[in-house]
Amino acid sequence: MREDKVSTANGYHQQYLEVNVSTGTATQHELDTAVLQQSIGGSGLGTHLLLEHESWKHDPLASEASIVFAFSPLVGSPLTTSAKFAVVSRSPLTGRINDSLASSTFAIAGKRTGNDALLIKGRAVSPSILVIEENHISLKPADHLWGLPAEDAELQLREEFGNNFSFAVIGPAGEELVRYATISHSGRHAGRGGSGAVLGSKNIKAIAVRGNKRAAWHDTAGLIEQARDLSQRSFGPATEKYRELGTAANVLVFNRLNCLPTRNFQKGSFEKAEELSPEAMNIAREKIRESCAACTIGCTHVYSIPVDGRPSRTRIEYENLFALGPLCEVSDQQTVLQASQLCDHYGLDTISTGGTIAFAMECVERGFLNESWLTFGSGDALLQAIHMIGR
C-alpha cells in the first residue's frame, strides 16, 4: 500500500476489484480519497460504484448489470459488530438500487483480498464458483452444487477448498431467479431486494474468497482501547434482552404497542402472540446461542425443530417470526420454525416471502384469487406456498 494511502484513507485499501465473469478477467481500480469520504461505509461505496458503472441503465438480471460486495472501513477492525458486508445492486424486486447486509467472516475475508469492494458483471457460460485470492480470480465448475440448498453447498465447498476460504452462496431460489432470493454465508443472509437472483442470473452459485492483506489504522492503540470499551458495554443491560431472548423479544413488545403486523397488516396485534414468543419457545425447545463474526452480543438464538422424526434446528429473529407467523395468522411454533427453515433451505428472504403469502391470503379472502386452500391461519398452506415459491 502506498504511504499516501495510509495517511489519507485509514481503514481502506483504496482500491476495488472489477470482475467480468463472462471473460473470466479482473481489473483493479484505485479509489480516490474524496470518493471514500463522500461514500462512507459499504452501502455508500457500493452505491457509488453501481452508479459509476451505470448499472442502473440495465435490467437487474441482465449480464451487463453489476452487483457489488462492499466492505466498510471498520471491517477487519477489533470493534464489536463490525464484520458486515453490503451487497448492492439494482433490485429485481423493486427496480431501484438496493443494499442488503449480512454479518459474517465473508466480510473480513473479502476485505483481506486487499480490496474495499468486489464488483461483478457479466454472465458465466455455465454454473460456476468465482474464486478470488487477493487479486487473482478463477472460475470453477459448480454443476455439482447447482440445485443444492445454500448451507449444503457451503459445506461441500469447505470440503473442496478448506477452511481458509469464506463463501457467499445462493440457494435454489437464486438459481431460479426468484426476485427476493438471498445470498448466504454460514446461515446468515443478505436477504432484502433479491441479490441472490442477481448473482444467479450471472450463473454464479458461490463466491470463495481469501487473502492476508490488512488495511492500516490511524491509531491502532486507540482503536483497541475503544474496542475494549464497546465490548464491555455490549454486555450491559441495554442488550440483555437480545442475549437472553434474541431479537424475537420484540414480538410481545410490539404486540402490546398494537404494531405487530398481523393478517397482512389488517391488524396490529395477534391474539396468539404469546405462543410464538421466545419466552414460550425457551420452555418448549432446546436452544443454543450463537454470535455473528466479531460480535460480543450473541443475539442469535437457534432452536430445535424435529422434522419427520429427524433432529434439526433453525435460527429465529423477529423478522422471520412476524412475517411467517402473525402476518399469516399462523401460531403453531413448529410450523413457523419449519417455514423459516424452508426459507433458508431455498434461499428466500423471510420478510418478502411472508409478505407475499399474506397478500395472497388476503386476495383469496376478498375473492380476487380462487386458491381456496390458501387461507389465513393455515400452517399447511404456508409451507406449501413456500415450496411453490422456492422451487
Which CATH number fits the domain that encloses residue 324? 1.10.569.10
Half-sphere exposure (Cβ direction) of 212: Cα atoms closer than 13 Å: 1
- Please indicate, yes or no, whether residues 254 and 158 belong to a single structural domain of this protein: no
Residue 46 within a domain: yes
Domain extent for 85: 3-210
Q: What is the pTM of this model?
A: 0.93
Residue 224 within a domain: no
Grid coordinates representing 95 are 427496480
Residue 217 within a domain: no
Distance of CA 334 to the CA centre of its chain: 24
Residue 225 within a domain: no
Q: Quick one: 2 exposed, middle or buried, by C-beta within 10 A (0-12, 13-18, 19+)? A: exposed
Grid coordinates representing 141 are 465448475
Report helix, strand and coil shares of the chain as percent, to nearest 5. Answer: 40, 20, 40
Grid coordinates representing 323 are 412475517
151, 177, 210: which is the final residue of a domain?
210
Q: Which amino acid is at 210?
A: R
- Please indicate, yes or no, whether residues 95 and 132 belong to a single structural domain of this protein: yes
179 DSSP assignment:
T
210, 226, 259: which is the final residue of a domain?
210
177, 210, 243: which is the final residue of a domain?
210
In order along its 391 residues, the chain shows pLDDT tens digits of 444 444 446 899 999 999 999 999 999 999 999 999 899 899 999 999 999 999 989 999 999 999 999 999 999 999 988 889 999 999 999 999 999 999 889 999 999 999 999 999 999 999 999 999 988 999 999 999 999 999 999 999 999 999 999 999 999 999 999 999 999 998 889 989 999 999 999 999 999 999 999 999 889 999 999 999 999 998 888 888 888 888 999 999 999 999 999 999 999 999 999 999 988 988 777 778 777 888 888 878 888 887 777 778 888 899 999 999 999 999 999 999 999 999 999 999 999 999 999 999 999 999 999 999 999 999 999 999 999 999 8
Residue 229 within a domain: no
- Please indicate, yes or no, whether residues 164 and 263 belong to a single structural domain of this protein: no
Distances (CA, A) of 239 to 101, 292, 299, 300: 21, 15, 9, 12
- What is the domain count for the chain? 2
Concatenated DSSP letters of 296-324: SS--EEEEE--BTTB--EEEE-HHHHHHH
